[in-house]
Structure 1
Amino acid sequence: MRAALIARQFDVQGRLVTVEPYGSGNVNDTYLAVFRTTFSEQRFIVQRIRKSVFPNPEVIMQNMRVLTDHCHAKLEAEAEGADRIWQLPKIIQTKTGEDWVTDVDGDLWRAISQIASADAYEKVRNPEHAHEAGIVLGHFHRMVSDLPAEKLGYALPGFHVTPGYLSKMDAALATPAGQERLHASQEAKRAVRFVETRRARCSVLEDARARGDLGLRTTHGDPKVGNIMIDEATGRGTCIVDLDTVQPGLVHYDIGDAMRSVCNPAGEDASELGSVIFDLELFSMIYRGYQAHAKDFLSQADHRHLFDCIHLIPLELGIRFLADHLAGDVYFKVRYPGHNLRRALVQFKLAESIEAREPSIRKVLGES
């Protein structure tokens, strides 16, 4: 097994016991490696970064090195006054002192520490869980608020630039194969119509950036609830994981993505579209948790665009799923034919629910 051969190249004591698939990510191949000595055991994460998704995986690792060095130093400096033990994964170097291994196919493999005695959940469990997710994201944003975005490269150029995803959908629709997939399903036709009626709203955040109202910052890129680690002993959030998409961006994309994930208790793969709603209680809790750390660095202009990002990100993710379906499922991993289309419909249903609850959401945000 290639993962086992790769795992042995990292600087970990002991002998390899097992390497097993780990987690439920949609992009990278992830494994849990277990090494043992005669008196101890070490578990860590081994991942293959897919070049078909990340054309420049070296940038991911360079960003991860900059970010983790910055955050680990701050976590240590603030540890005595913190209300909990905050954590962040650490890069495990190879035996020759490198941050990654390149295999014979040119794919990049890396090893990172496992956050022990903590779990992540694909769906929010209760309002307290939502509150902790907000605290973790707010803490992360505060930690990186003094890390200049220009120190980071673009691991995924165009990531979270919504008009770019619209262009990809349009390009997929312009192909014979895309048209065939569109006309093969009434649901696909309905999904495309949903996007068309909201096309003008897709540039709201990029327009604000162009006007100078919003600026680039260090962002996580994928702060969904499944990337928030909850301490088994205390039930409190301890860190955010999956740092592949760290790069310069608008902090609003992170905020919107977290709200999208946490406030839909039915989850991304909801079996019934009727169960998909934007839960206002969960929203109130995650926003309260986020503000506990974020109030010091969000400007008035940032606040003016909070509802925009909450509405836009489900719409954007739905467009991404729909474009991938029309293109033949080339980006996201799928478990069955039509999986990406189904995912798109869930996100569009969530965006619709947000539209229906706009006055209540704005009230929680303090706008009325």
Structure 2
Amino acid sequence: MEKISLATEIYAAFGLDRNRFVAKRFGHGYINRTYLLESQNGEQYILQKINTQVFTSPELVASNYRLAANFLKQHYPDYLFVAPLRTTDEKEYCIWNGEYWRLLPYIPHTVALDAATAPEQAYEAARQFGRLTRYLLHAPLHQFQIVIPNFHNLTLRYSQLQEAIRNAREERREYAEELIEGFLDYSSIAIHFEEIKTEKAFPDRLIHHDAKMNNVLLDEKTFKGVCVIDLDTLMPGKIISDLGDMVRTYVSPTSEEERDFSKIEIREHYFEALIEGYLDELRDLLTPVEKASLFYAGLFMTYMQGIRFLTDFLNEDIYYPIQYPEQNFYRAKNQLVLLQQLMAKQELLKNIIQKHLHT
């Protein structure tokens, strides 16, 4: 890892002596800039520069972190919740040259995997996300802020796709014509989301909203779940967001960047493992309409991510970074293939869900 030079004032804000620490880039996150601080005597911290283009109100993120940390400390004192450390003047973050910095404890002897390579890992990660939601069940939901408005609002994303189709250059629209039709054929997924939004028996809960594999720390030797990390998007939402992102990112052996679509497949053992892990924490707490939505969750997140990639392609790639001209097109096509495979195996996957709902 490359050594990085950071301002003395940032260290001093947290009571650290810059001369005692070496800073190195850490992790593969795309949003915040993350560094590992290490001293010669083994002291370690995680330092992050908050991306204020994504999190436009860092104070809301900090407030949600602190609310969750205080609630969990009171009600589940043994639960490991990785909350930011305060500055020397008791603030949640340091502001230096207009940039927002926060310091977090480093959790030793753990790993964050970019992808699940065994069903047991999928189980452990899903269980950690389920446990966080369960432990926060009675936290004061109304006090938690929405840090990214409409983050998982499929109605909005579908509307943005329609607008992008209307406004796209003819060349791009014709290039993506078959892909556009493919996603429009599944518009019932967006329609069902409208029903969920207005269903009173489908409650908002405190969920992570970015339940990818690398947002869970596992024991480096046993791969048992240790804790959830990167809780910037912790806010009220529907469980289909977390569960759906797990299905979207754990079940196939390939990521959304894969262009060889023959490699995309539904690994039933991974699907079963994550369903089991999630339901082992939440099975007895979910309402009937939530239970009925568990298969839909994977369709919901895969469809939404697919149309977001397609929208960005039609809009000339203004949101997602690209390394080659058609990257967002291929990302969208990747997600459509995954969606089609989920639909093709829906009876098998629904049977797996029913099995673990009644365990």
TM-score computed with the length of structure 2 as normaliser: 0.90
C-alpha distance after superposition, 1:288-326 (max 9, x if no partner): 111111112111121011111121111111122222333
Aligned to 1:83: none
Aligned to 1:129: 121
1:92 aligns to 2:92 (yes or no): no
1:64 aligns to 2:65 (yes or no): yes
Q: Secondary structure at the match of 2:223?
A: coil
Q: CA deviation at 1:355?
A: 0.4
**Worse overlay, 344-353 or 317-326:** 317-326
CA distance in 1, matches of 2:114, 2:22: 25
Q: CA deviation at 1:24?
A: 1.5
Q: CA deviation at 1:363?
A: 0.4
**Worse overlay, 106-115 or 5-14:** 5-14
Q: CA deviation at 1:3?
A: 4.3
Question: Contact 2:317–2:328 at 8 Å: present in 1 too?
Answer: yes
C-alpha distance after superposition, 1:11-59 (max 9, x if no partner): 25443532222221222222222244xxx33222222222222222221
The one-letter code of the counterpart of 1:142 is R
CA distance in 1, matches of 2:45, 2:330: 33
Q: Give the alignment of 1:298-317 within 5 angstroms.
A: 298-317=286-305
1:217 aligns to 2:218 (yes or no): no
CA distance in 2, matches of 1:261, 1:41: 34
The alpha-carbon distance between structure 1 residues 331 and 29, as it changes in their structure 2 partners (threshold 3 A), is farther
1:348 aligns to 2:326 (yes or no): no
Aligned to 1:101: 94
Q: Secondary structure at the match of 1:285?
A: helix
Aligned to 2:38: 34
**Following TM superposition, where does structure 1 have runs of at least 4 consecutive aligned residues deviating by more than 6 angstroms?**
none
Question: In structure 2, which of residues 169, 172, 175 is the aligned counterpart of residue 182 of structure 1?
Answer: 172
1:337 aligns to 2:325 (yes or no): yes
CA distance in 2, matches of 1:26, 1:180: 31
RMSD of aligned residue pairs (Cα, Å): 2.3
CA distance in 1, matches of 2:128, 2:299: 21
Q: CA deviation at 1:99?
A: 0.7
1:250 aligns to 2:238 (yes or no): yes
The one-letter code of the counterpart of 2:308 is R
The one-letter code of the counterpart of 2:169 is Q
The alpha-carbon distance between structure 1 residues 344 and 148, as it changes in their structure 2 partners (threshold 3 A), is farther
Question: Contact 2:217–2:229 at 8 Å: present in 1 too?
Answer: yes
Q: Secondary structure at the match of 2:76?
A: helix
Q: Secondary structure at the match of 1:366?
A: helix
The one-letter code of the counterpart of 1:182 is R
CA distance in 1, matches of 2:231, 2:124: 19
The alpha-carbon distance between structure 1 residues 107 and 199, as it changes in their structure 2 partners (threshold 3 A), is farther
Q: Secondary structure at the match of 1:92?
A: coil
Q: Secondary structure at the match of 1:25?
A: coil
Aligned to 1:142: 134
CA distance in 1, matches of 2:332, 2:302: 9
1:111 aligns to 2:103 (yes or no): yes
Aligned to 2:183: 195
CA distance in 1, matches of 2:15, 2:313: 41
Q: Secondary structure at the match of 2:354?
A: coil
The one-letter code of the counterpart of 1:8 is Y
**Worse overlay, 349-358 or 320-329:** 320-329
Question: Contact 1:91–1:99 at 8 Å: present in 2 too?
Answer: yes
The one-letter code of the counterpart of 1:215 is P
Aligned to 1:120: 112
CA distance in 1, matches of 2:100, 2:164: 29
Question: Contact 1:318–1:344 at 8 Å: present in 2 too?
Answer: yes
The one-letter code of the counterpart of 1:116 is P
**Worse overlay, 224-233 or 354-363:** 224-233
Q: CA deviation at 1:5?
A: 4.5
The one-letter code of the counterpart of 2:69 is T
Question: Contact 1:165–1:320 at 8 Å: present in 2 too?
Answer: yes
CA distance in 2, matches of 1:296, 1:141: 13
1:53 aligns to 2:54 (yes or no): yes
Aligned to 2:11: 8
Q: Secondary structure at the match of 2:35?
A: strand
Question: Contact 1:221–1:245 at 8 Å: present in 2 too?
Answer: yes
Question: Contact 1:209–1:215 at 8 Å: present in 2 too?
Answer: no
Q: CA deviation at 1:75?
A: 3.5
Q: Secondary structure at the match of 2:198?
A: helix
Q: CA deviation at 1:151?
A: 1.4
Aligned to 1:44: 45
CA distance in 1, matches of 2:6, 2:169: 39
Q: CA deviation at 1:137?
A: 1.6
**Worse overlay, 246-255 or 332-341:** 332-341
C-alpha distance after superposition, 1:46-103 (max 9, x if no partner): 2222222222222111111111222243432xx3xxxxxx522121222222111223
Aligned to 1:25: 29
1:171 aligns to 2:175 (yes or no): no
The alpha-carbon distance between structure 1 residues 7 and 132, as it changes in their structure 2 partners (threshold 3 A), is same
Aligned to 1:82: none
